Amino acid sequence: MAERKRRSRALQLTRATQDHQQRLPKALSVEIDASLHRRFKRYCESRGLTQAQGMEQILSSLPT
């Protein structure tokens, strides 16, 4: 029985990492999105950038 539960959990984890929608509960995902948006908005405002310019700056700093 324990082995079956372990295999079931492993399968759930595999599916969750393959399917982006299953990684986080929807409410948590929305909360994280809202938090990131607030931080990004403050980042842009503090630097006098539009959000498009801020995104461009962030993306250009990422390694390729």
pLDDT one-digit tens code per residue, 23-64: 667 777 788 889 999 999 999 999 999 999 999 999 999 997
Per-residue model confidence (pLDDT) at position 64: 78
Per-residue model confidence (pLDDT) at position 10: 67
Per-residue model confidence (pLDDT) at position 59: 93
Helix/strand/coil for 4: helix
Its pTM stands at 0.54
What is the pLDDT averaged over residues 15-30? 66
Per-residue model confidence (pLDDT) at position 50: 96
Per-residue exposure over 42-59, b if at least 16 CB sit within 10 Å of its own CB, e if not:
eebeeeeeeeeebeeeee
User: Closest Cα partner for 40 from 53, 28, 27?
Assistant: 53
Is the CB of residue 26 less than 8 Å from the CB of residue 20? no
